[in-house]
Structure 1
Amino acid sequence: MSAIHALHGFIGSGKTTLARRLEQDLGALRFTPDEWMTTLYGADPPADEYPALLARVRALMHSQWTRAVTLGVPVILDEGLWTRASRDELRAQAAALGVPLTLHVLPFDPPTARERVAARNDQAGAHFVAPATFELFLPRFGPLTADEEPLQRIVRH
């Protein structure tokens, strides 16, 4: 049955680990922007080009995952959905497609996330996140708000 499973969490929260597990458990297609970026543009693309490159990847992924759900295939969207606006947009897309949305919420724990990102940065071929970038992005993360909770199915991890 077609469904959208989206992940809400910060860098290093365990989104991709959970997405891989859900992919297997649900027989779903997984869309992980970091993996696409690394495959297409390397582990650490130039910072000044990154936004445009990511926009291309997201546009391509969007066309693929929306096609998949219209064909009845469940999808895993391994995005962070850091902002209320991004979550509202996804809820609207799911409604327009007539597909149920489950939001998987991962804990927001910056010290643990820093450790995970540092360990991941040491792995060959992994998507690199500089410590300064992590700190720059930290205040941009917007946790799920109480008024959002009734708007879709929520699973806390």
Structure 2
Amino acid sequence: MKMGLMPDRTPGRIHALHGFIGSGKTTLARTLEQELGALRFTSDEWMTALYGQDPPADEFPVLFRRVMTVMEAQWTRAVTLGVPVLLDHGFWTRAARDELRAQASALGAPLTLHVLAVPDAEARRRVQARNLQPGALLIADDTFDLFRPRFEPLTPAEEALQDVTRWP
């Protein structure tokens, strides 16, 4: 290869985790990270590293957008370099998933959506247990209740738009 020429690179695969709070996304992401040799992007971990376990509620949306902007710059760069990435974010809305599919298409990267679903009672139990762990982003019961109506499950029509893997 001549100096100054970039080798042809195949984009890395994007693995995105879709599920509500407490569905097991981060646990699965950690497992897949090792199995796939992928670079994992977990927004909760970035939030706690930068802003602590319990960022002020009134500042949370701005802080979260900052984290997501920086993460996006990093994961899209990794994909263009041929590195598989794991996006441990949830992709709660159809609009968020549509945007991700458009980004994957623009990057020429294959996309797998890993879908996780558990009953709300189990998700709440998991969140309460996680809240007791050092370094966990705290999720209050009222936050769970506030966000639950915002979650839009994957529809059958939408499922056909990308590779989908379902997890118990």
Shift of 1:125: 1.7
The answer to whether the aligner puts 1:93 opposite 2:103 as a matched pair is yes
Match of 1:3 among 13, 16, 22: 13
Aligned to 1:124: 134
- RMSD, aligned α-carbons: 0.8
- Per-residue CA deviations over 1:103-122 (Å, capped at 9, x if unaligned) read 00001421100000011111
Tell me how far apart the structure 2 counterparts of residues 9 and 132 of structure 1 sit (CA, whole Å): 18
User: Secondary structure at 1:132's aligned position in 2?
Assistant: helix
**Which consecutive unaligned segments of at least 5 residues does structure 1 have?**
none
Tell me how far apart the structure 2 counterparts of residues 29 and 124 of structure 1 sit (CA, whole Å): 23
Aligned to 1:145: 155
Amino acid at match of 2:88: D
The percentage of counterpart residues that share the same residue type is: 69
Tell me how far apart the structure 1 counterparts of residues 149 and 70 of structure 2 sit (CA, whole Å): 28
Aligned to 2:50: 40
The answer to whether the aligner puts 1:13 opposite 2:23 as a matched pair is yes
Tell me how far apart the structure 2 counterparts of residues 63 and 74 of structure 1 sit (CA, whole Å): 15
- Per-residue CA deviations over 1:57-106 (Å, capped at 9, x if unaligned) read 00000000000000000000001100000000000000000000000000
Amino acid at match of 2:131: N
User: Secondary structure at 2:17's aligned position in 1?
Assistant: strand
Tell me how far apart the structure 2 counterparts of residues 149 and 34 of structure 1 sit (CA, whole Å): 26
User: Secondary structure at 2:124's aligned position in 1?
Assistant: helix
**Which consecutive unaligned segments of at least 5 residues does structure 2 have?**
1-9
For the pair shown, the structure with the greater C-alpha radius of gyration is 2
- Per-residue CA deviations over 1:19-60 (Å, capped at 9, x if unaligned) read 000100000000000000000000000000000000000000
The answer to whether the aligner puts 1:84 opposite 2:94 as a matched pair is yes
Aligned to 1:109: 119
TM (normalized to structure 1)? Answer: 0.98
| Alpha-carbon spacing, 1:127–1:117, altered in 2? closer, same or farther (3 Å) | same
Amino acid at match of 1:41: Y
User: Secondary structure at 1:105's aligned position in 2?
Assistant: strand
Higher helix share: 1
Tell me how far apart the structure 2 counterparts of residues 113 and 105 of structure 1 sit (CA, whole Å): 14
Shift of 1:13: 0.3
Shift of 1:4: 0.0
Question: Following TM superposition, where does structure 1 have runs of at least 4 consecutive aligned residues deviating by more than 6 angstroms?
Answer: none
Shift of 1:8: 0.2
